[in-house]
Amino acid sequence: MNLTLKIWRQNDSSTKGRMVDYKVSDISEHMSFLEMMDVLNEQLIGKGEEPVAFDHDCREGICGMCSMYINGEAHGPDRGITTCQLHMRTFKDGDTITIEPFRAAAFPVIKDLVVDRSAFDRIQQSGGYISVNTSGNTQDANTTPISKHAADTAMDAATCIGCGACVATCKNSSAMLFVGAKVSQYALLPQGQVEAADRVKNMVAQMDLEGFGNCTNTGACEVECPKGISLENIARMNRELMKANL
């Protein structure tokens, strides 16, 4: 198929960006979206132009590195996937596709489609862990039984890949789904109880400091989340925060 691409080009964080049109032809429907981008870049390099910079790594939907805003949706039109899992069969011959970086005040653009998501790291550093040393001298793993339901729900929350689609999608650029997922994972497990109150307070404080907006219950984050992280996690975080502040 032949496509027109409208892509955000920006040299670095301090220069102004703009949309640039490109044409690509002979795109197979079996290609992944990023393989289509590879074709474009090979074409640009052949012409001596600079290829489009974009983040990507595992190309199997788990590392959370890829981050494009395609036709107005984080990770593009399909559901439950990252950009690297989006396939060209989702598009039609002759389509025009708009490709932008994830946009949020807390995710400054580094170059073209690459953004800086280190705010997520700093939120995790503020409390997204259990304070246990890695000596190996902890108790036997089966000493504390954990109900299958709690373990499974914690796992569902823990599957977050930290891609930032929730933030890019949210009209308030809120990171509550991301933070809620991490708070929930630990709140649901007995190991996480000891530090639960401090954890949620510190993580929420850091989230606000980074410039993420608040949640107004639109739920777009849940729809666009490639891992199906549920809004329940935001509710649980709010409960945990209230408990912690009582």
- Can residue 173 be called a binding residue for another protein (CB under 8 A)? no
Nearer to another protein, 26 or 217 (CB): 26
- Can residue 25 be called a binding residue for another protein (CB under 8 A)? no
- Can residue 145 be called a binding residue for another protein (CB under 8 A)? yes
- Can residue 14 be called a binding residue for another protein (CB under 8 A)? no
The residue among 195, 180, 127, 184 whose CA lies nearest residue 151 is: 184
Nearer to another protein, 141 or 246 (CB): 141
First to last CA, the chain: 59
Nearer to another protein, 87 or 100 (CB): 87
- Can residue 192 be called a binding residue for another protein (CB under 8 A)? yes
Least distance in angstroms from the C-beta of 107 to another protein: 11
Which residues in the 217-236 window bind another protein by CB under 8 A?
none
Least distance in angstroms from the C-beta of 217 to another protein: 27
Number of residues that bind another protein (CB under 8 A): 79
- Can residue 130 be called a binding residue for another protein (CB under 8 A)? yes
* Span from 27-35, 92-100, 207-215, 236-244 in contact with another protein (CB under 8 A): 27-35
- Can residue 162 be called a binding residue for another protein (CB under 8 A)? yes
Among 134, 171, 217, 246, binds another protein (CB under 8 A): 134
**How far is the C-alpha of 29 from the C-alpha of 191, rounded, in Å?**
47
- Can residue 184 be called a binding residue for another protein (CB under 8 A)? no
- Can residue 194 be called a binding residue for another protein (CB under 8 A)? no
- Can residue 30 be called a binding residue for another protein (CB under 8 A)? yes
Least distance in angstroms from the C-beta of 28 to another protein: 6
Give me the 32-71 binding string for another protein, x by CB under 8 A, dash otherwise.
Answer: x-xx--xx--x-xxx-xxxx-x-xxxxxxxxxxx------
Contacts 24+ apart (CB under 8 A), 186-192: 186/128, 186/130, 186/154, 187/236, 187/240, 188/150, 188/153, 188/154, 188/157, 189/146, 189/150, 189/151, 189/154, 190/144, 190/146, 191/130, 191/132, 191/144, 192/130
Least distance in angstroms from the C-beta of 115 to another protein: 9
- Residue 111 CA neighbour count, 13 Å, CB half: 8
Give me the residue label for tokens 């052949």: 46
* Span from 68-76, 91-99, 129-137, 170-178 in contact with another protein (CB under 8 A): 129-137
